[in-house]
Amino acid sequence: MESLTTFIKRTLNTPLRLRYLSIFVIIFGLLNGCGGGSNSDIKEEAEQIKSTYLIEQQIHTSLGITETDADFTLMVESNNGTQFSHNRGSSTSTTYYRSASTSKIVTASIILRLVQQGVLALDDHPQDYLDFWPATGNHAAIELRHLLSFTSGLTEEPLCLNLPNANFINCVEEIINVNPNISIPGNDYYYASSHLQVAGLMAIEASGLNNWIQVFDNFKLETQLFTNATYDLPSINNPRLAGGMHWQASEYMKFLSALYHQQVLSANMIEVMTSDQSGNAIMTYSPVTQWPTTPDWHYGFGLWIECPYVAFDCTTATRVSSAGAYGAYPFIDFKQKYFGIIAREGALGTGSKGYQIWTDVKDKLAQWATKNL
């Protein structure tokens, strides 16, 4: 027979109504002699569940009244696998949303997995794989690490990045034409889509595949992640790797879980990905500096390193994220030991909104995560 303590723990991962019905059963019935474990252990477990329940109710209340310009879903998961979610309006965990820049961390992870497998190397140059890429000058000095950290010197985006009928390879070649003179790679950080488009074509060629969809399909097959997601903006044939996905919150959460638990990338690769790759580069353009909170974050590979200090003074990453221009906000909090996403699609240019929603409940979420270590 299942012990009472085990039964209580198991209720932590059941739907809310069933979970708290179980609490009342435990408190009012089972404490009088049914089940295993001492009464003190049982009472401690019951108090733990009750405390978690009260925190979750406070989070629900706060999220129910927080200011928002679009419906949203918040999903979080703690270190021990306990999950919490809140849906606002018509948003659900299976609603499809345009990714905007939430795809950056996904694209970077796919490419870093190829690096981990030896298909690519961080010091590879575009001309190693692309016969049209310049073999001399600053363009030739670009390395894959510069592309993944947005310090390649490529600042301009060609119009073809947004044209469904454009040819993917030809569009990457056009990136050279709109960036005829660039700074020395590593000198300047510039948040733009061109970096990942070049890196993506390097990944395609290094893998011996025909297009990015095949690269993504291989990633799906190996990891069983993003089974419903697509890179389809502006089109499947010309996907914008820095912001062209559709995904569901539920599958994005599985991706974050796999990253957090070092299942997609090794511990060493995660450490590299989440380290400050922008370094001493001049932050020429960083969209987060235009947010109301004006954070001074630096960049790893395809993700923001959130630092609470201005100026940036974080030697190790305790929290990383990849906010999108429509306000979606996926994050991993290594210090508080939980991860999650605020899934939403507001107007273009509302990139700070998801972060602000998280800010409204961050203290309660930290308490919740501590209860579920």
DSSP 134-169: -SSHHHHH--HHHHHTT-SS-----GGGG-TTS-HH
Residue 48 CB coordination number (10 Å): 15
* Angle between helical axes of 103-116 and 212-223 (0-180°, round to 10): 80
Using CA atoms, how far apart are residues 325 and 240, in angstroms rounded to an integer? 14
Region of 79 on the Ramachandran plot (φ > 0 left; ψ -120 to 50 alpha; else beta): alpha
User: Is the CB of residue 185 less than 8 Å from the CB of residue 145?
Assistant: no
Q: Which two tokens stand for residue 158?
A: 């060609």
User: What's the pTM?
Assistant: 0.91
- Closest CA relative to residue 124, chosen from 201, 194, 189, 181: 201
| Strand partners for 230 | 246
What count of Cα atoms within 13 Å lies in the side-chain half-sphere of residue 58? 15
Please list the pLDDT of the chain residue by residue as tens digits (373 residues): 455 445 555 555 555 544 555 555 555 555 555 555 567 777 777 777 888 999 999 999 999 999 999 999 999 999 999 999 999 999 999 999 999 999 999 999 999 999 999 999 999 999 999 999 999 999 999 999 999 999 999 999 999 999 999 999 999 999 999 999 999 999 999 999 999 999 999 999 999 999 999 999 999 999 999 999 999 999 999 999 999 999 999 999 999 999 999 999 999 999 999 999 998 899 999 999 999 887 889 999 999 999 887 778 888 899 999 999 999 999 999 999 999 999 999 999 999 999 999 999 999 999 999 999 8
Domain with CATH 3.40.710.10 in the chain: 96-303
Instruction: Please list, in sequence order, all residues whose beta carbon lies within 8 angstroms of the beta carbon of residue 238, skipping any fewer than 6 positions away.
Output: 160, 161, 163, 164, 165, 166, 167, 168, 171
Judge: domain 96-303, CATH 3.30.870.10. no
